[in-house]
Amino acid sequence: MDNSDSLKVAFIGLGWWGDVLADAAVASGVAEVVGGYSRTAGTRAKFAEKFSCKNYDSLEALLADPDSEAVVIASANGVHKAHTLAAAEAGKHIHLEKPMSFSIADCKEMISVCETAGVKLGIGQNFRRWPMFRRAKKMIDAGDLGTVSLASVNFSGPLGLTAGEGSPRWDPVENPGGPLYSYTIHLADLMEGLFGEIDTIHAVCGKVGGPSKTDDAAGGVLHFKNGMVGILSGSYTAPFRFIGSIEGSKGALSFSSGGAPTFQKFEDGMADAEVLDIGYGFWNGRDLGNAEQFSDLRRSIREGGDPEVNGTNGLRALGVMQAMLKSHAEGRAVSMEEILAD
């Protein structure tokens, strides 16, 4: 690609995930890392050296630089709103990491400000971009699975063991529900990307003795507008693990970390398993859609239209998490309509 037409991106928040995304921007072949800002001088210097880019000593300096047309916001969750509003008002297109915020009202304001400013807002919910789920979506749309009645996904990880004292990830106020805002929120967006909008949620959260003060596990039963049922679950005190299935009247897909997905085609009520070749397993040799996020943002800027995962998608994924927390607290099913009306 002509470098003059590459997407010029500056980074706000240079922690480990900001670094991963900068690597993905370079790997995309369509984006150029212009510079980065962190409150920590040493982190800024290390980032600037690695990517041969500018070292901004303030957020204001980054936003005032005409050399960037877009920003990646990978800062702490609690400042996502402030950084998004500032970037939009500076005329920068935005890739914002999940969760957008912890407030439905905040998300609505962020979407509105971006629309008024005429800037694109993409959200870092990358699960629907994974090759296994691109394949699943094609199979569902082609009718290979028949009528899907049930889908179940679990995504667990060790942050409830490893984040440490003082981390907001261990704080029940900053991070209620344990895995919800770190892991499960990805599953909510994935489910809606595959099956359409979720209608109601009934959920529970549990504490069984992990070192953090937040919950150790969460799970929920979803009812979709199309009538199907979904199950989301995750542990905050387990090794990284992903497992799930999609059940249809003609066949079922099964997938897990460490292995290729399988398709079981039903014939006379029986099932024969076929391994689907998607090129790699869950954790090895994968990009997990991060580079594609930059191609998608560039496309939306150059050609028009929204990013594939936009502000409304981010709002709804947050809404599912808040519905799960409300359901657990009140012991009842909670509708998305109720949550999104806030």
pLDDT band at 271 (very low <50, low <70, confident <90, very high): low
**Averaged confidence pLDDT in the chain:** 92
The tokens of 178 are what?
């344990």
The tokens of 259 are what?
């292995």
Q: Are residues 143 and 257 in the same domain?
A: yes
pLDDT tens per residue, range 196-246: 999 999 999 999 888 988 999 999 999 999 999 999 999 999 998 889 999
pLDDT value, residue 179: 92
Q: Is 71 helix (H, G, I), strand (E, B) or coil?
A: strand
In a domain, 307, yes or no: no
Strand partners, 35: 10, 54
pLDDT value, residue 292: 92
Q: Kindly report the CATH number assigned to the domain that includes residue 62.
A: 3.40.50.720
pLDDT band at 115 (very low <50, low <70, confident <90, very high): very high
Which of 119, 150, 177 finishes a domain?
119
Among 6-20, 141-155, 159-173, which is the least confidently predicted range?
159-173
Which of 93, 119, 145 finishes a domain?
119
- The residue among 106 and 4 whose pLDDT is bigger is 106
pLDDT band at 282 (very low <50, low <70, confident <90, very high): low
232's CB contacts (< 8 A; 6+ apart) are 153, 154, 184, 187, 188, 191, 203, 219, 220, 222, 320, 324
Q: Are residues 167 and 278 in the same domain?
A: yes
In a domain, 125, yes or no: no
Q: Are residues 159 and 59 in the same domain?
A: no
- Domain span at 237: 130-286+318-340
Q: Are residues 145 and 255 in the same domain?
A: yes
Helix axes 16-28, 290-303, angle to 10 degrees: 60
Q: Are residues 100 and 134 in the same domain?
A: no
Contact yes or no for 35/59 (Cβ under 8 A): no
Contact yes or no for 199/223 (Cβ under 8 A): yes
d(CA 11, CA 90): 14
Handedness of CA 199, 98, 34, 286 (dihedral sign): negative
Q: Kindly report the CATH number assigned to the domain that includes residue 206.
A: 3.30.360.10
Q: Are residues 175 and 219 in the same domain?
A: yes
What domain count does the chain have? 2
pLDDT band at 279 (very low <50, low <70, confident <90, very high): low
pLDDT tens per residue, range 153-190: 999 999 999 988 888 888 888 888 889 999 999 999 99
37's CB contacts (< 8 A; 6+ apart) are 10, 11, 12, 13, 14, 44, 56, 57, 58, 59, 61, 62
Q: Are residues 140 and 276 in the same domain?
A: yes
